[in-house]
Structure 1
Amino acid sequence: MFARSAVALLSLLAAAASAAAEPMNAQQARAFVAGKLFSFSCFDGTAGSGRIYNDGSAAGVVKFLGRSGQRFMALPPGTLRVKGDAICASVKGLFFEPCFNLQRTSAYSFRGSVSGMGFAYCDFTRRGGRTFVARANARPLAIGPRTTGSVPDTPTADSVAPGEMRGSTTP
């Protein structure tokens, strides 16, 4: 399961050639992608959003086709690395080290595929700086007071100073 999830998140770097696409080498890809938030959708229906960091780590949320809910994924530093002029991934549990073809499709997007498997691609679009993950049934955050009743007139132990007695009838 982790290997499948890792490959889906790594697909952030995958790309299949397109007539209008501009190929990116490893250094161009790093400058274009590192530290920025991207949403992605893949050929198999997998979708999500995440970031790839300069240290080769990645983190984000993924929703697999046919599965309910999103899953948080995080890959440790050094998972993604430059190998020659390509970006490759070292993922525990995979018997090979996949490398990626990257095609810039606009000033804010790219397409990626595992080298040799152009049919298996994901499209990525750069988003704003914050990740917003919410359920469809989520309610807005309440900013009013949490209590709905009146405040009792009876003092509590916290409101009585040491040595002071309340309710005493003696002079």
Structure 2
Amino acid sequence: MRSILLAAAAFTLAGVGAASAQTLSPEQAKAFVVGRSFAFTCFEGTRGAGRIFADGSVAGTLTMRSQGIARYVRLPPNTVRVREENVCGYIEGMTFEPCFTVIKTSPTTFRGTLAGVDTMWCEFVREGGSDRPRVASRRKQHKEESSSAVTAESAAE
């Protein structure tokens, strides 16, 4: 259950920042984060990359506590939602709904903490210049590309 909470915390929003940081309202946080891909690293070693969609659903990869392989995670609509003045993460079966504060630390980064618990945080960095989803990709090199690369290397020598 703790792993699910950490995954929700990682994919939802949170925040404690530097002196020049800007605390974001839930609406500002939504505008800054929704639809963009972010990589993240959390205080206890959990890391990954993902995207929060406009319907509050979440998709991405997650490696818990820097151990094992990255796993694909997809959380349903309304997982990330605004409750009063907080951004919260809802996961069915949890006994409480964790809420977060969001602090923008640069034009492409933010840091987050579980509301009221400054020692539980994640750092988020926007990936790439594009807002296209890029959770994972695999490209198999074709035989023609492989042989033409070898030929080009040989010709350069």
**TM-score (norm. length: structure 2):** 0.80
Letter in 2 for 1:112: G
* Equivalent residue, structure 1, for 2:100: 100
Q: Higher Cα Rg: structure 1 or 2?
A: 1
2-side partners of 1:18 and 1:87: how far apart? 20
* Equivalent residue, structure 2, for 1:49: 49
- RMSD across aligned C-alpha pairs, in angstroms? 2.0
Check the 8 A contact 2:46/2:66 in 1, yes or no. Answer: no
2-side partners of 1:6 and 1:76: how far apart? 15
**SS, match of residue 122 in structure 1:** strand
Per-residue CA deviations over 1:109-130 (Å, capped at 9, x if unaligned) read: 0001110111100000111334
2-side partners of 1:132 and 1:73: how far apart? 10
Counterpart of 2:136 (choices 129, 133, 137) is 133
Does 2:6 align with 1:7?
yes
Check the 8 A contact 1:111/1:124 in 2, yes or no. Answer: yes
C-alpha deviation, 1:79, in angstroms: 1.1
Check the 8 A contact 1:5/1:73 in 2, yes or no. Answer: no
> 4+ runs of 1 displaced by more than 4 Å?
none
* Equivalent residue, structure 2, for 1:159: none
C-alpha deviation, 1:90, in angstroms: 1.4
* Equivalent residue, structure 2, for 1:72: 72
Change in 2 beyond 3 A, CA 1:132/1:87: closer
Change in 2 beyond 3 A, CA 1:6/1:72: farther
* More helix as a share of residues: 2
Letter in 2 for 1:53: F
Per-residue CA deviations over 1:64-105 (Å, capped at 9, x if unaligned) read: 125210111111001111111211121112211111011000
Check the 8 A contact 2:60/2:74 in 1, yes or no. Answer: yes
1-side partners of 2:26 and 2:103: how far apart? 11
Letter in 1 for 2:7: A
Check the 8 A contact 1:88/1:98 in 2, yes or no. Answer: yes
C-alpha deviation, 1:9, in angstroms: 4.0
Does 2:127 align with 1:124?
no
Structure 2 gaps, min length 5: 145-157
* More strand as a share of residues: 2
Letter in 1 for 2:136: V
Letter in 1 for 2:68: S
Letter in 1 for 2:104: R
* Equivalent residue, structure 2, for 1:86: 86
Check the 8 A contact 1:63/1:71 in 2, yes or no. Answer: yes
